[in-house]
Amino acid sequence: MRPNLIGRVAIEKNHGTMSSILVQVIVGGLLLGAVYALFSSGLTLVWGMMNIVNFAHGDFVMLGMYVAFVVWTLFGAGPWAGAPIAALVLATLGVVVYFGLIRDIMKGPMLAQILGTFGLALLLRYSVFWWFGANFLSLPENLVGGTFDIVGLRIQASRLLAGVVALLVTLGLHLLLTRTSLGSKMLAVAEDSTAAQLMGIRPDTMQAIAWAIAAGATGLAGALIATFFYIVPTVGETLGIVAFVTVSLGGFGSVPGALVAGLLIGVIESLSAYLIGAVYKDMVVYSLFLGFLWFRPQGLMGKM
């Protein structure tokens, strides 16, 4: 192990600026965590509703990013147009994927789901690779109004927008599931699809709707992340594993859980990167995650 001692000594010397920088680190972590929550909400929804692990989830985010990029190159439009279009495109794709693949592999064992969605991940990733090439792409810096200063804190507008949308999406999904009849029907199918069918609910329709919503939210997330991240066909690999950890920490199927877990991971990553060293931040997150599962095997807000 390579301890990053020099960095730590430096921090201890500079007490004057440390507290303001520490606040910046925490705020940055919260905004990052909101983004994690944003691209995990779709995953937790299908995971909880259908007990499906979507290994292609990261690649759904990637597709959302590419849609935003295409919208920008064709029409010069920012995320105001790109995000809704990405949500629509991905929702359509979600329905297609549900009827073309998921409906059938759900009948098989869990392994078939990993097999099918992993194959789908490769198919999506390399179809994009084939069409757009391997180059890194990026949207212009100031598409969402640059960065502003609030009492010495630097807040990037694009990240703030993503954070606010994350809260809205979480709230929206939560209300949909708990306060609407559509939500109750979807939960009924998730609980016991045979019983739901006897009550006149069509499981196929409900699950297709769930996939549309989940994929749409993921597309929205991708389009917003594209405003401050780079875009490349393999970006889903980087983001997918973060989404997995966020969702399992929050509890499968719990949308508020994903938000809390996302924020938590964001802050822990930022703080540990700043205080211990950036090399250790992922180790800290994985260790805490494993330790947490020891005490609460169902995640933060999940049910057994």
Partner 1 sequence: MRRWLWLSVALALVVAYPLVLSTPFQQRLGALVLLYAIAASAWNVVGGYAGQVSVGHVVFFGCGAYAAMGAYAHFGLSPLVGIPVGIVVSVAISAVVGVPTLRLSGHYFSMATIAVAELVRLIVTNTDYLGAAVGLSGPTVPRNVFDLSFISALPYYYLFLTILAITLGITWWMVNSRMGFYLRAIRDSERAARSLGAPASRTKLYAFMLSAGLTSVAGALYAMMFGFVDPESGLGILISVKILIMAALGGAGLLFGPLVGAAILVPLEEISNNLLGGKGAGLTFVLYGAMIVLIARFQPGGILTLINRVWAKRNGRMPKTEAARGA
Partner 2 sequence: MISKHFLGLLCAAAICVLPADHAFAQEKTVKVGAVFPLSGGSASAGVHAKAAIEVAMDIINNAHPEFGNFPLAKSAGFAGLGGAKVEAVFADNQGSPATGQNQTLRLITEEKVVAITGAYQSGVTLTASAIAEKYGIPFVNGESVAANLTERGFKWFFRVTPVAADFARIFFEFLADMKAAGAKTDNVAIVHDTTEYGTSVASVIASVFKERGQTIALDIAYTSNATDVQSQVLQLKEKKPDVVIMIAYTSDAILYQKTMQSLDYKPPMIIADDSGYSDPSFIKAVGKISQGAFNRSSWSVGPPGSPTALIAEMYKKKSGDDLDDTAARAMQAFFVLCEAIDRAGSTEPAKIQAALKATDLKPDQLMMGYKGVKFDEKGQNMLAAGLIIQLQDGENYVAVWPKASAGKAPVLPYKGW
Q: Which residues bind partner 2 (CB under 8 A)?
A: 2, 4, 6-7, 10-11, 14, 17-18, 21, 24-25, 28-29, 32, 126, 129, 133-138, 141, 147, 149, 154, 156, 159, 228-230, 232-235, 237-239, 242, 266, 269-271, 273-274, 277-279, 281-282
State which residue, 144 or 215, has the beta carbon closest to partner 2: 144
The minimum distance between CB 125 and partner 1, in angstroms, equals 7
Using CB distances below 5 to 8 A depending on partner kind, what does residue 299 bind out of partner 1, partner 2, none?
Answer: partner 1
**What CA–CA distance (Å, rounded) separates 166 from 217?**
9
State which of positions 122-141 bind partner 1 (CB under 8 A): 122-127, 129-130, 134
Using CB distances below 5 to 8 A depending on partner kind, what does residue 154 bind out of partner 1, partner 2, none?
Answer: partner 2
Using CB distances below 5 to 8 A depending on partner kind, what does residue 74 bind out of partner 1, partner 2, none?
Answer: none
Cα torsion through 262, 266, 268, 270, rounded to 10: 180
State which of positions 78-107 bind partner 1 (CB under 8 A): 100-101, 104-105, 107
- The residue assigned the tokens 């180059």 is 135
The minimum distance between CB 262 and partner 2, in angstroms, equals 12
Using CB distances below 5 to 8 A depending on partner kind, what does residue 166 bind out of partner 2, partner 1, none?
Answer: none
State which residue, 115 or 188, has the beta carbon closest to partner 1: 115
State which of positions 270-299 bind partner 1 (CB under 8 A): 279, 282-283, 286-287, 289-290, 293-294, 297-299
Using CB distances below 5 to 8 A depending on partner kind, what does residue 111 bind out of partner 1, partner 2, none?
Answer: partner 1
**What CA–CA distance (Å, rounded) separates 211 from 146?**
34
DSSP tag of 200: T
Using CB distances below 5 to 8 A depending on partner kind, what does residue 107 bind out of partner 1, partner 2, none?
Answer: partner 1
- Nearest one of 51, 29, 27, 30 to 247, comparing CA atoms: 51
* Residues whose CB falls within 8 Å of the CB of residue 281, separated by 6 or more in sequence, listed in order: 268, 269, 270, 272, 273
CB 64 within 8 A of CB 218: yes
The minimum distance between CB 56 and partner 1, in angstroms, equals 9
Out of 244, 269, 273, 274, the only residue in the binding site for partner 1 (CB under 8 A) is 244
**What CA–CA distance (Å, rounded) separates 59 from 125?**
6
- Nearest one of 235, 223, 258 to 46, comparing CA atoms: 258
State which residue, 66 or 228, has the beta carbon closest to partner 2: 228
State which of positions 176-235 bind partner 1 (CB under 8 A): 233
The minimum distance between CB 279 and partner 2, in angstroms, equals 5
Any idea how long the chain is?
304
* Burial of 298 from C-beta contacts in 10 A (0-12 / 13-18 / 19+): middle
Q: How far apart are the two ends of the chain, measured CA to CA in Å?
A: 38
* Residues whose CB falls within 8 Å of the CB of residue 260, separated by 6 or more in sequence, listed in order: 250, 300, 301
The minimum distance between CB 185 and partner 2, in angstroms, equals 36
CB 236 within 8 A of CB 58: yes
- Strand segments, DSSP code E, in 73-138 are none
The minimum distance between CB 10 and partner 2, in angstroms, equals 5
